[in-house]
A and B are shown apart, each in its own frame.
Chain A
């Protein structure tokens, strides 16, 4: 690694005034070598070392916090997924899109597409946004048996930023609980207990918001044996 440049620059004093004469002298080589050197250190060594240590110490998180059920990967603990069955809690609206299987140059709505995160990016006075919220509110009231014109929790009718939000608000979950219990033929109190168990509190009491993890709650519901004479309606 020793370079002749070093030796010519340091000990020989007479060269210094010559170097000072042109501000460019002795800069081009170090700039080019510097780019390669810093690229190797920060773009290769650092991420690879971090990957090695992380995979060794925290392999589950480092590989995406995947949740397995019966030997198959059912999702990631951090990534939301779409639910529409009456026996499941429903997540927030998602604005993610995916390629149209008929015509790959076009895209269509694919909620919770974890291959292409996305928000609606509609501004506050956008007609399209207000129309969507109005439609979602009407659908939400109908699905959950709410009175016409009842105000709906705002997170239930607005698209998240990532389109992959794994959580809903407690208010949103409460509004859905009766419908889920009815659909599964479960005691509402039991659904409430599961809901409480899957409500995550604020971190350290102040950070973030209390929230319900939809995938975990729905998995817990699936784990409850269906009452006698009741078909498992969850997957309808």
Chain B
């Protein structure tokens, strides 16, 4: 127990240190007047002018259209798998609805998977469609955060930067070098990195064991650094090849938190308001620690029904105890709890345990974090989501004291609040709307692995994960039907672009405004008070929106579990 708490403290301390270093690097990359050679080659290959200045609309359009082209190319590769090389297991191409779902999933940084990677994708597809789209989604997200923060820093300006420059810099200065180095560390720890598809072993007891191999390490790096989360194998980062040791587990966790946490520091540097960056970092951290405590407590306490069935769940020197169903021995409870919290905070969606088998309160945590969608959040979008709540907070505070709210020296007026509300409302509208539709859909029951409240949680989790661009699942749920592939695909696109584009518009609108001087009526936003208020607003808005749905799923199941009631 004490050792577990020490581990949590150490991980968060290292994460903070990395955030500072990475934050400075990101700020430098976003503002450096010089272009590196590979960046210049890229501009030439694309045929773009790096000196072009873009307003928010053009910036957003460049992001949207380039993502559409990448998604289209990814879709094509998925559909053409049968004709492509490196397919010695002879896997067939994905059906159109599944390929749409997969391409939408990976370009939106969701990485929801309605397929099992090891038994349906060739190594060519794992690289040319999946690894490629993982780079695209993540890099576009960080680029957007760069444009967003740059806009906040400007006044009286129509120019929020150049999308191509932001994208290529994040690709060449952050994603590719980090991924390459990390991939070699991962191979050292045991991850395969080969173009061979399989090995065959004869076990000690004489059985034949087919072992699927592939370019796993180069996949895992961008999967976590890019807060993507889709697995090479069906069981994702619980699979020993995707997460062989407690050290790789730690590196996965630090990778997921790296860019979302560093962006707060980068924001502080770019706005020349370091304290503001730390206030955002602090708000992230408070919520993270709270949720971590909840899931760790619930999983370590275990499932009383398992104790009745004869299992010993006590923590001791010789076993981690707790609810070990769907968990791996090398991670035990503590490393699993930390991973569960991180992957749904930083909306990665990678899993090192089966979330479907978490205790009800343990499963409540990933759901709640994806619903809030701003506990660190995904690469780039997490910070943007938090700032959306920050604007809402100064608006509410302004209402209370009867003054025009200001944020970072700009007046917040009707246009900004309308756009913020569009973004705030699109998220629950997609989650709750699609969940309600699915509950009415006659074939939903056939997709469920569990009945009762847990079955409802499976459906709610699917649309929450899709909309929040997370990608983890209550994986017993069979989402590979035309209905779920289409609706979850739409939820992913809505969740990505209906929050990102309105917030880019807000940024563009703020960039065009004049800076107002700080006066006695200005509500300071770089203080602990504001940090507390911000967390409060996030929890109240999120709670009021989602508690009824959560009550029908995990909360009822918790009561069911303590009462000893089973669902057939």
Contacts and interface: CB of A to CB of B under 8 A. Distances in A.
Do the two shown chains form a genuine complex with each other?
Answer: yes
Interface of A: 1-3, 5-6, 9-10, 19, 23-24, 26-39, 41-44, 46-51, 53-55, 57-58, 61-66, 72-85, 88, 92, 112-127, 129-130, 133-134, 137-138, 141, 149-155, 157-172, 174, 200, 202-204, 206-211, 215, 218-219, 222, 235
A150 B180 CA distance: 50
Closest A-B pairs by Cβ, 6 of them:
A208-B246, A121-B476, A43-B132, A137-B310, A161-B238, A209-B332
A197 B495 CA distance: 51
B215 A31 contact: no
Given A34-B66, A157-B306, A168-B329, 18 more contacts: A9-B49, A34-B167, A41-B176, A43-B129, A43-B131, A43-B132, A63-B196, A78-B190, A119-B475, A124-B325, A125-B454, A130-B305, A130-B306, A151-B310, A154-B323, A170-B317, A171-B312, A200-B330
A126 B454 contact: yes
A152 B244 CA distance: 26
B316 A171 contact: yes
Given A64-B241, A118-B235, A122-B325, A151 B128 contact: no
B193 A62 contact: yes
B320 A50 contact: no
Given A51-B193, A119-B354, A207 B52 contact: no
Contact of B450 (A57, A123, A171): A123
10 contacts: A1-B45, A6-B47, A6-B48, A61-B190, A61-B191, A81-B203, A84-B205, A117-B239, A151-B310, A155-B329
B217 interface: yes
B475 A47 contact: no
B203 A82 contact: yes
B264 to A, nearest CB: 26
B217 A161 contact: no
Contacts of B200: 73
Given A64-B192, A123-B357, A30 B47 contact: yes
A66 B205 contact: no
B181 to A, nearest CB: 10
A23 B58 contact: yes
Contact of A42 (B43, B131, B239, B351): B131
Interface in B76-119: 77, 116, 118-119
Contact of A61 (B192, B204, B317, B360): B192
Contacts of B567: 123, 125-127
A73 to B, nearest CB: 5
Contacts of A82: 203, 205, 207
B116, B327, B358, B567: which has the most chain A beta carbons within 10 Å? B327
B253 to A, nearest CB: 10
Contacts of B129: 43
Interface stretch (B3-11, B399-407, B510-518, B521-529): B3-11
Contact of A32 (B69, B213, B320): B69
A121 B184 contact: no
A82 B131 CA distance: 32
B435 interface: no
A206 B7 contact: yes
Nearest to B51: A10
Contacts of A6: 43-44, 47-49
Given A165-B240, A169-B318, A215-B204, A39 B73 contact: yes
A120 B354 CA distance: 8
A235 B6 CA distance: 44
Contact of B320 (A141, A162, A209): A209
A15 to B, nearest CB: 11
Nearest to A22: B58
Contact of B42 (A27, A35, A37, A211): A37
Contacts of B190: 61, 65, 77-78
B311 A123 contact: no
A113 B238 CA distance: 15
A26 B330 CA distance: 53
A170 B352 CA distance: 21
B247 interface: yes
A78 B240 contact: yes
A57 B135 CA distance: 25
A33 B47 contact: yes
A74 B135 contact: no
B326 A160 contact: yes
B211 interface: yes
Contacts of A72: 202
Interface string B331-359: 11011000000000000000111101111
Interface string B219-244: 10010000000000111001111001
Contacts of A50: 180, 183-184, 193, 215, 217-218
A72 B206 CA distance: 11
A117 B118 contact: yes
B561 interface: yes
A171 B212 CA distance: 31
Nearest to A5: B47
A121 B450 CA distance: 8
Given A122-B449, A124-B359, A125-B557, A44 B128 contact: yes
A164 B207 contact: no
Given A42-B135, A75-B203, A117 B234 contact: yes
A166 B425 CA distance: 45
Nearest to A206: B7
B309 A161 contact: no
A86 to B, nearest CB: 12
A225 B213 CA distance: 35
A122 B68 CA distance: 37
B128 A43 contact: yes
A29 B48 CA distance: 9
Given A154-B322, A164-B239, A207-B247, A47 B199 contact: no
B444 interface: no
B211 A38 contact: no
B235 A73 contact: no
Nearest to A77: B190
A215 B350 CA distance: 27
B566 interface: yes
B65 A120 contact: no
Contacts of B454: 123-126
A61 B189 contact: yes
A43 B86 CA distance: 13
B203 A157 contact: no
A29 to B, nearest CB: 6
Contacts of A26: 48
Contacts of B212: 114-115
